Structure formats: C-alpha cells, structure tokens
Amino acid sequence: MFVIFGAAGNVGRVSAAALRRAGREVRAVVRDGKQGEVLAEIGCEIAIADLLDPASVARAIEGAYAVQILCPVPRADADPANTMRRMIDVSADALRANPPQRLLALSDYGAEHASGTGITTLFHTLETQLAPIDSQLTFLRAAEHMHNWARVLPIALARGVLPSLHHPLSKLFPTVAAEDVGLLAAELLLDDRPARVSPRVVSIEGEARVSALDVARTLSELTHRPIAAHEVPRGEWATMLQGAGLGENHARLITDLYDAHNAGRIDVETEISERRFGATALAGVFASILARVAVTSTASATSAAR
C-alpha cells in the first residue's frame, strides 16, 4: 500500500494518480470526504486524517509499504509555525512507531538551514525529525512552486502590476511546477533499487530559472495586456501580506523567507543533492491557472444574472 498524505493537494493528487497508473494500491489521505471523491474515482482507498490527531495519522499508515508525507502551512492559523511543528511531531511519532519500508518527505530548497529562513525552517524541522526513522528515506526538496504566483494574479489582472518580493526584479531564482514534483515523488517511491545512502536528498526545479520580470512578461503574453513587475519595498511587505489576509505571524514567516531568498540562501544544496529538472514551463502553469480563473468568473457572472 502506498499512502499519500495531502492527496487532494497540487502535488499529492499527481503522485496518487501516477501510482494508480502504475498499478499500485494507493491510500489517499485527506481532511474530509469531499476532498476524496475524485481520488476515489481513480481507485484510491480514502482515509480521513487530521495531522494534529495522533490516532488518525497512525490509522492512515497502517499496512503501508511506502508513505509520502508533507507539512502543510495552515493559512488561517494565528501561529502557523507552532501548528506545523505539532503536525511534524505527530507524524514523526506515528512513523517511528510503525515505520514503512519507504518514506518520502516533501521538503523545500533551503531546508538544510536551521534558522533564518522563515517557513523553510519548518522543513528543516521536518527533515530532522524524520531522519532517525528506520525507513529507506528520501527528502524531495522542491524550488518555489510556480502556482504560488496565483495569489497575486488578481492584482496583476486588475491593475496591470505584478507585486514581487523577489529583489531585484532581474534576479533569477529557481521555480518548479507542482505537477513535476508530484510525478518525481511517485517515481522515487516506485524506485525499488537499494538506496546508496539514507536519507537520500533529491532536488527539483524547472529547466530554466526565472526572474520577476520573466513572470510579468509571461503573464503579459498570455493575457495580451501589459503587466509590469513591481518591486514591493521591504518596509511594505508585512502590510501587503496582512492586507491579503495573512495573520501577523504568517506574514513574518513569509518576510523572513524572502529576506533569505534575496540574500541567496534559498537554493539547491549541490554538495549532497541529486538534481532533477521538471519539464513544465511557467507559461504552461499560468495558462492553466488563468483558464480556471476564467471559468470561475464566467460561473459567477452567470449566477449573478439569474
């Protein structure tokens, strides 16, 4: 049994589907039954679990040959870092008590740093907690996900301005499509060759690094309207993030992350990492996001007209 936590997410659903195509039994772990409906249609067994509840996590990994684990960021949480640490503790305790033969953790570029990287510090905690578990262990460290830009697309489309915390706008940074991460995760779980080292560290980013200028140019080309990248001044970051609905503590995790990004600390750890590259380009991801936005806008307009 292959157990996929966060199976309804952008990465997990791709991993679950790839494993099903390979003929493997998959247990898709989700927060509620509604999330599991599409996964059940492709033949997944559905498990409902709360990552803060030790009993439900323990049940989810019963009989597992392989487990794909993650540490989701709780958006609507007053103290997301503390909540994430509790999730990590619960998952690590369950996996120590009942270790699967294979264990893959979805991690982040920069996870080798113990401090000073905002949200990425939590992925360091995840790796540290999982390292002693008696499994064939892989840390899959991904670059910044391309779909994260979806958060500012409404601003870009409405105002023709793409706000960026990447400074300067011309700075190249690694990014990756969630689909490529999910496919690689499934490939690594299916790789039954004996590991040369454990934990195995694998990194993934897109074929080409991009800048905020590239992101704005790609959006302009797809939408056929002028969109300019705007370097948000450092002193305005917290206000902008909190205005977008993030709590003070969550906003601080983001600002610390981008301070580390702009200082060059968030990158592949080349000395120990096996490097992989995704095939999906930024334009492909944005086209998919924009198509969903168009469908949602059309549906809203139709509903309002009734």
- In total, how many domains does the chain have? 1
Residue 122 counted as domain residue: yes
Residue 157 counted as domain residue: no
Which two structure tokens, joined as six digits, stand for 77?
């949480």
Closest Cα to residue 9, out of 17, 117, 287?
Answer: 17
Q: What are the pLDDT digits (tens) for 276-302?
A: 999 999 999 999 999 876 544 444 433
Which two structure tokens, joined as six digits, stand for 12?
């997990």
Residue 197 counted as domain residue: yes
What's the first-to-final CA gap in the chain, in angstroms? Answer: 48
3-state secondary structure of 84: helix
Residue 298 counted as domain residue: no
Residue 69 counted as domain residue: yes
Q: Which residues pair with 136 in a beta bridge?
A: 102
What range does the domain containing 195 cover? 2-146+174-205+267-280
CA distances from 257 to 72, 120, 151 (A): 16, 7, 16
Residue 120 counted as domain residue: yes
Tell me the pLDDT of the chain (306 aa) as tens digits.
999 999 999 999 999 999 999 999 999 999 998 999 999 999 999 999 999 999 999 999 999 999 999 988 888 889 999 999 999 999 999 999 999 999 999 999 999 999 999 999 999 999 999 999 999 999 999 999 999 999 888 889 999 999 999 999 999 999 999 999 999 999 999 998 887 788 999 999 999 999 999 999 999 999 999 999 999 999 999 999 998 888 999 999 999 999 999 999 999 998 999 999 999 999 999 999 998 765 444 444 334 444
The reported pTM is 0.93
Residue 30 counted as domain residue: yes
Do residues 147 and 95 lie in contact, with contact meaning Cβ atoms separated by under 8 Å? no
E strands in 70-111: 102-108
The per-residue pLDDT of the chain, averaged, comes to: 93
Residue 292 counted as domain residue: no
Which two structure tokens, joined as six digits, stand for 17?
């589907």
For 275, the enclosing helix (H) or strand (E) is strand 274-278
CA–CA distance, 44 with 28 (Å, rounded to integer): 6
CA–CA distance, 22 with 39 (Å, rounded to integer): 15
CA–CA distance, 297 with 35 (Å, rounded to integer): 22
For 121, the enclosing helix (H) or strand (E) is helix 120-130
- Write the CB contacts of 68 (distance below 8 Å, at least 6 apart in sequence): 2, 3, 4, 5, 12, 15, 104, 105, 106, 185, 189
What CATH number is attached to the domain comprising 184? 3.40.50.720
CA–CA distance, 285 with 223 (Å, rounded to integer): 13
- Write the CB contacts of 165 (distance below 8 Å, at least 6 apart in sequence): 232, 237, 254, 255, 258, 261, 262
Q: What is the pLDDT of residue 196?
A: 79
